[in-house]
Amino acid sequence: MSPEAAMDIASLTCPLPVTDSPRVLLGHGSGGRMSANLLQQMFLPRFGNPYLNRLDDQAVLEVGGQRIAFTTDSFVVRPLFFPGGDIGRLAVNGTVNDLAMGGARPLFLSAGFILEEGLPLDDLAAILDSMQAACQEAGVLLVTGDTKVVNKGSGDQCFINTAGIGLLEHPWLLSADQAQPGDVVILSGTIGDHGMAVMSRREGLDFETEIRSDTAPLAGLVASMLEASHEIRCLRDPTRGGLASALNELARASRVGIEIDEERVPIHPAVHAACELLGIDPLYVANEGKLVGIVGAADADVIIDRMRRHPLGSEGSVIGRVTERHPKMVVMRTRIGGSRVVDLHSGELLPRIC
């Protein structure tokens, strides 16, 4: 071993990451830190207004004395069909859920399609059938839409954008900045199902499993919870970026600390195994049929009880609490009794070997 190397060990350095990319990177779309930065740097400066700045999943607008919730979401999942669902079902439920998180009753959807030349019409038919079924299940009407076709190679077979309108039929404000120390964090069920179901069909990473996407419309569950209590501060459906991202958003918006207990966060053994195998943290994996909420402690039992009576909330539980300690940070008490900070992940969630 060369003496030069021995002396130079002190100059071992870290690789410098390239942060200022002139182009859009995949990480910008993954719901983590890069996505947040993109929003802050590109979108908010241009469009900032009181509605947008709340950065909730939906905008609550006052129109003619009525409170209307309005939201939009785009769906780009690959593969298009996965265990438990498909892009169509996702597109309906995703927007329905964004409305539901504001406590709105979803009423109407629009759907815009960007189709790649060459997409089999049978696939399109299956997607549309699925959307129709999902609309019926969610009790919404698809009232307007658009279709464009792009050259082969320009689009990933099928992109869908849905926008939705719902009515707020109660006077309360469910928003990310409403959490207070002393409140309690609730979760409607197991995490990581959707993301790992999709991963299980990804080329190169595929595995055999019974994991199915949890995509489901949550408006009914939310309505039931709102009947039970007026102490619901905010709700989020933890989609891309997972539970960790949703909690971080709430902590930041409300300027509070959040603590959760690893033992209380439910996860299917198969999802757990898949995450272990690929070296992925389930806290960051997308969910499409779950909600996380912050509620007043006094009403927590009543709300959980109501949740559990609903098929989509049968595993609902308290997973943590809101605190004035470590504001804007999410901390998890680990199974072995330690603590770890649960931060926003920086970019694309990748399997690792290290």
The reply on whether position 41 binds another protein by CB under 8 A is no
Residues 268-297 close enough to bind another protein by CB under 8 A: 268-274, 276-279, 281
Q: By C-beta, is 33 or 170 nearer to another protein? A: 33
Tell me: cis bond preceding 79? Omega within 30 of 0 counts.
Answer: yes
Q: Does residue 291 contact residue 235 with C-beta atoms inside 8 Å? A: yes
Burial of residue 196, with CB atoms counted within 10 A of its CB: 0-12 exposed, 13-18 middle, 19 or more buried: buried
The H or E element spanning position 164 is strand 158-167
**Which stretch, 54-62, 133-141, 196-204, 297-305, contacts another protein (CB under 8 A)?**
196-204
Q: By C-beta, is 145 or 347 nearer to another protein? A: 347
The reply on whether position 51 binds another protein by CB under 8 A is no
Q: Which residues contact 233 (CB under 8 A, 6 or more apart)?
A: 174, 175, 178, 179, 180, 183, 254, 293, 294, 295, 296
**Number of chain residues interacting with another protein (CB under 8 A):** 73
The reply on whether position 26 binds another protein by CB under 8 A is yes
The reply on whether position 326 binds another protein by CB under 8 A is yes
Tokens of 345: 């992940």
Query: Letter for the amino acid at 272?
Result: H
Pick the binder of another protein from 6, 41, 45, 171 (CB under 8 A).
6
Q: By C-beta, is 219 or 246 nearer to another protein? A: 246
Q: By C-beta, is 90 or 349 nearer to another protein? A: 349
The reply on whether position 27 binds another protein by CB under 8 A is yes
201-206, long-range: CB within 8 Å, 24+ apart, which pairs? Answer: 201/79, 201/82, 201/83, 202/78, 202/79, 205/278, 205/351
Q: By C-beta, is 311 or 338 nearer to another protein? A: 338
Taking the complex as a whole, how short is the minimal distance between the CB of residue 205 and another protein, in angstroms? 5
Taking the complex as a whole, how short is the minimal distance between the CB of residue 353 and another protein, in angstroms? 5
Tokens of 183: 């409140």
